[in-house]
Amino acid sequence: MSSLFKGVRPYGEDPVDIRVEGEVITEIGTGLEPGEAQVYERDGLVALPGFVDLHTHLREPGREDTETIESGSAAAALGGYTAVFAMANTDPVADNDLVVEHVHRRGQAVGLVDVQPIGAVTVGLRGERLAELGAMARSSAGVRVFSDDGHCVADPLVMRRALEYSKGLGAVIAQHAEEPRLTVGAQAHEGANAARLGLAGWPAAAEEVILARDCLLAGQLGARLHACHVTTEGGADVLRWAKARGVEVSGEVTPHHLLLTDERLAGYDPVNKVNPPLREGSDVRALREALAEGVLDCVATDHAPHAVQDKDCEWSGARPGMLGLQTALSVVVETMVRTGLLDWRGVARVMSERPAEIGGLAGHGRPIAVGEPANLVLLDESAEWTVRASELASIAHNSPYDGMRLPGTVVTTVLRGTVTADEGKLA
C-alpha cells in the first residue's frame, strides 16, 4: 500500500510531495509521479511528525461511560496524534502488568493511535508502597513512564525510592506536584478570584515545593523526573533552575493552562474546574515563555473526560478535568504560533519529538525524512473552526472551549503509513 501526499510543507517550509510505502517514508521531492499510490492533494498544508500526548486519561477500564480506548483513540487521531500515553488512574488501577498489558492490547486492536500505558508508581495510587514497576516495564506493554497522576507521590521517602528504582528500568517518574497538606479541600487557584468567589485556595506554592523537592532528589540520585502539568510561574522557574544545575528533569504544560485563566470561574461552571487549577494571566505568560524557551519540554493534554452528572452540579461537587485531544493543536496555534513564540519546528518539538523522547517511544517524534516511520499530521494553519463539545469524538463533552472560535485544523493523520483521520472524519 502506498500513498502520495502532494504539496505539503514539512515544518511549514517549502512545499514537497511525500511518498509513503508500507509504514515508511520512501521519497520526498517535487512533482513525484503517483504510480500506484493513492494521491492526497494537500497543497500548502503544514506537515509535522504525528503528535504524541504524554498525558491522556482514557478511562478504560472503569469509566467506559465517559471514554473508552476506542473513543479516546478516535479523538486522538482526529486531533493529529499518533501516540498517547494512557494514565494509570483507571479502575482497576494500572499498577500491575495485567492491566497495562490489557490497555496496550486494546489500543493495538483499535489501531487508530499507539496507546502506551503509564504504570502507577504506588499500589492503588495510595502513595504508600511501590507498585511492581519492574513487572510492568518487562511486560509486553513495555512501560517506561510511571505516574500516580491525580495524586501526588507526597511522601518524600516513597518518591526517593521510586526515582532510584526507576533508574534500573530506564524509566521516568512523572509527578503530579501537589503538596496534599497545602491543598486540603482546595477548589481554585488561591488568589484574588478565589477570595472573591469564596472558594478554598490551591496555592501555587503547593506545586512549587514538590517540584523543588523532587528536582533536588532527582539531582542527587541521578534519576529522571518528569513534571506533569506545570501551571505556575514559580514552577517554571524551579525547572529552569534545576535544568541549569544539570538535573534530568522535563516538564509539560497543558493547552488549557496556556490559554485559560481563573477569570473563567466567575459563573461557577465546573467545566472550568481542573486540577491543578486554572491560574492567573501572569502564570499563563510565564508558561508560554518557558515552553518557547525549552524550560518546559512539551505540551500534554491532560485529556480528562467526565460524565455530565459529574460536571453539571455545584462547583465543589464536580470532578476536575477537561477534554483536550481534539483542541490541543488549535490552542497551541492560538497561544504559541500566532504570538510568534514558536515556529513549526518548535511545534514539532513540543508536541511530538520531546514527548516521544521523554516517554521512550521509538518510532514516534521522528524527523520527516526518507527511511523514517510515516507518522504524520497535516494541518491547515489558516483555517478556523468553532468548537462544538457535543461533536467531539469523546463520549464525554466537558470541553471548556465549547463555542470558542480557534485557529488551525488537523486535516490528515497518518499512523505508520495508514491514514487514521482525514478531513475531520476517521478514515
Partner 1 sequence: MTHLLSAEHLGRDDAVAILDTAEELKRTLLHREVRKLPTLRGRTVVTMFYENSTRTRVSFEIAGKWMSADVINVSASGSSVSKGESLRDTAATLAAAGADCVIVRHPASGAPQRIAGWLDGVSVINAGDGMHEHPTQALLDAATLRERLGGLEGRRVLIVGDVLHSRVARSNVHLLRTLGAEVTLVAPPTMLPDGMDRWLDEAEVPVSYDLDAELPGTDAVMMLRVQAERLGGGGDSSAGFFPSTREYSISYGLSEARARLLPEHAVILHPGPMLRGMEIASSVADAQNSVITEQVRNGVHVRMAVLYHLLASEETK
DSSP-derived secondary structure letter, 310: G
Do residues 188 and 194 touch, judged by C-beta distance below 8 A?
yes
Q: Closer CB to partner 1, residue 147 or residue 187? A: 187
Q: Closer CB to partner 1, residue 17 or residue 262? A: 262
183 interacts with partner 1 by CB under 8 A: no
Largest CA distance in the chain: 66
Strand partners, 298: 252
193 interacts with partner 1 by CB under 8 A: yes
Distance CA 72, CA 410 (A): 16
Q: If you search the block for the grid coordinates 524527523, which residue do you land on?
A: 367
Q: Closer CB to partner 1, residue 280 or residue 353? A: 280
Q: Closer CB to partner 1, residue 282 or residue 382? A: 282
Q: Is 195 helix (H, G, I), strand (E, B) or coil?
A: helix
285 interacts with partner 1 by CB under 8 A: no
Helix, strand, coil percentages (3-state) for the chain, rounded to 5, are: 35, 25, 45
φ/ψ of residue 414, rounded to 5: -125, 125
Q: Which stretch binds partner 1 (CB under 8 A): 62-70, 187-195, 326-334, 363-371?
A: 187-195
Closest alpha carbon to 321 in 153, 110, 112, 176? 176
> Of residues 250-269, which lie at the interface with partner 1 (CB under 8 A)?
267-269
222 interacts with partner 1 by CB under 8 A: no
Minimum CB distance to partner 1, residue 399 (Å): 18
195 interacts with partner 1 by CB under 8 A: yes
State how far the alpha carbon of 127 is from the alpha carbons of 95, 122, 135, 151, 152, in Å.
Answer: 12, 5, 18, 8, 8
Q: Which residues are catalytic?
A: 302
Minimum CB distance to partner 1, residue 46 (Å): 40
User: Binding pattern to partner 1, positions 303-342, x when CB under 8 A?
Assistant: ------x--xxxxxx-------------------------
Q: How many residues bind partner 1 (CB under 8 A)?
A: 25
* Overall size of the chain counted in residues: 427
Minimum CB distance to partner 1, residue 263 (Å): 12
Contact positions toward partner 1, by CB under 8 A? Answer: 184, 187, 190-201, 203, 267-269, 309, 312-317
